[in-house]
Amino acid sequence: MNARVLLKKIFFPLIVILILFSFSSADAHAANKQAHYTITTDTTYPPFELQNKNGKYVGIDIEILNAIAKKENFTYKLVPMSFNSGAQAVLSGQFDGIMAGMAITPERRKVYDFGTPYYKTGVIVAVAKNSKIKSLADLKDKKVALKTGTGAAAYALSIKKKYGFKVTYFNDSNTMYNDVAIGNTVATFEDDPVMKYAIKNGTKLKIITKPANSGYYGFGVKKGQNKELIRRFNSGFAKIKADGTYNKIVKKYLGASQSEFSGSAKTNNSIWGLVKQNKDQFLSGLLKTIQLTILGIIFATILGVILGLLAIVPNKLCQAISGIIVYIFRGLPLLVLAFFIYIGIPSLTGHKLPAMFAGLLTLTLNEGAYIAAFVAGGLKAVDNGQMEAARSLGLSYWQAMRRIVMPQGFRIIVPSFINQFIITLKDTSILSAIGIIELTQTGTVIISRNMQGFRIWFIVAIMYLVMITLLTFFANWANKKLKH
């Protein structure tokens, strides 16, 4: 079997499998006669976006969108992800719009079209409860925490030079709040209603300024695109303002306590209590992590074996192809690769990619490159005399590889392969950045509702450790079997 046949029989079917798999996550409403849109949101921004105990997304933004969709007779698919990633994905054409407490600013008007402004807000500064900082002037030469891509961050940067503070960035609100609470940073800039909700529900911060830089939140689409969606939003928003629905929604969430979304009047915030309250979400996130890990390692193994074989065949072109692919995808950080595939490629091609497909392709390319390296190393570790003896007995090169060299080489690489399985399991957490709700993102979403950062991350850590322990046990068992 030559290299061309090998590629044709194995590599191309791998790509076909990935493409077919991506269709399984395609929109179920594609055949629906109603207008259907894909809209992204940041579900860690209560009280505007959060997830209740049943895994349902709720909040001011979500209920406004639901009400408008009913009034205007359209359906939509909600895709949660970090605010900054979602905003970029809209501009790349992955989503039709974004409803995520997005402040309308002159800079954003250059690249987004906004619907009717739906909520007036202002930016405040919050510090730790025991902080001695009382005003913006006290921030001089100190470090403040900002959430990437937000209007509050933009306001902070606009006054940074005047007050002489330094900045550091976070992708989610809860981590940012905790950073201030424990003293790594001295303050944070945040929208007034969001911070008040967080403080009411246990965040150990206090507000030291009055709302400034007052502005409005808006529903955004890529500039010049989805004009019909903007028209529907504006029409529906006018209707829910007129019939009182809008006011009811805002009143329902402003000042609400997290117990209203956890499902019990008296919330049990013990470790076991949090597990019971959020068992469905934890289970869903765990299953998604396992699914990504298993499918990712299967596809990565296929790609890795192909590239590993190409690296050792007596053909310089094949070796060069393998070397270039391994060099590129081992060299790229996993997060950069994920963003390039999910956001960069649609920007270049104009075609959307399902998040699950983009995530699996990311894992396949990155993990496959590492597997290729130790496959090639394992095969090269087999004594050259084995190949020479097989060829002298009349076996072709590929027959000798398949029957003599590969069985010995693969036995050598089994420990490395099991280790890569564990690495793949941990790497799935990075895919939360492109909107895949695996175990890590599940923890982030739950924390946005109940503000129990330490306990939730402890639960998530235990779940990862259990899975890794089981894999390590399996690795040790496999090694013992192979020795015998």
Which one is predicted more confidently, 299 or 21?
A: 299
Which class would CATH give 34-118+218-264? Answer: alpha beta
Of 31-45, 91-105, 159-173, the least confident: 31-45
Of 96-100, 261-265, 376-380, the least confident: 261-265
- Say what the pLDDT of residue 259 is: 64
Please give the DSSP secondary-structure letter assigned to residue 102.
Answer: P
Q: Are 321 and 254 in contact (CB under 8 A)?
A: no
- Say what the pLDDT of residue 266 is: 53
- Say what the pLDDT of residue 471 is: 83
CB-based contacts of 316, cutoff 8 Å, min separation 6: none
Residue boundaries of the structural domains of the chain: 3-21+278-483, 34-118+218-264, 120-214
Distance between CA atoms of 396 and 133, rounded to whole angstroms? 78
Residue 21 predicted with pLDDT over 70:
no
- Say what the pLDDT of residue 260 is: 66
pLDDT tens, position by position, 368-404: 999 998 888 888 877 777 777 877 777 877 777 777 7
- Say what the pLDDT of residue 25 is: 47
Determine which helix (DSSP H) or strand (DSSP E) holds 311, and give its type and residue range: helix 279-312
Q: Residue-wise over 25-56: b if at least 16 C-beta within 10 A, else e? A: eeeeeeeeeebbbbbbbbbbbbbbbbbbbebe
CB-based contacts of 436, cutoff 8 Å, min separation 6: 288, 292, 355, 356, 359, 428
Please give the DSSP secondary-structure letter assigned to residue 314.
Answer: S
The number of helices, as runs of H, and strands, as runs of E, in the chain is 22, 13
Q: Find where tokens 């990504």 sit.
A: 292
Over range 162-191, report the average pLDDT.
92
Over range 352-368, report the average pLDDT.
93
Of 217-226, 325-334, 382-391, the least confident: 382-391
The reply to whether 120-214 shares the fold of 34-118+218-264 is: yes
pLDDT tens, position by position, 309-319: 898 888 899 99
- Say what the pLDDT of residue 33 is: 58
Distance between CA atoms of 88 and 93, rounded to whole angstroms? 9
Superfamily of domain 120-214: Periplasmic binding protein-like II (3.40.190.10)
- Say what the pLDDT of residue 405 is: 77
Residue 450 predicted with pLDDT over 90:
no
Output the average pLDDT for the chain: 86
Tallying the residues shown for the chain, one arrives at 484
Which class would CATH give 3-21+278-483? Answer: mainly alpha
- Percent above pLDDT 90 for the chain: 51
Residue 27 predicted with pLDDT over 70:
no
Residue 109 predicted with pLDDT over 80:
yes
Q: Are 362 and 338 in contact (CB under 8 A)?
A: yes
Distance between CA atoms of 40 and 117, rounded to whole angstroms? 18
Instruction: Give residue 201's pLDDT band: very low, low, confident or very high (50, 70, 90).
Output: confident
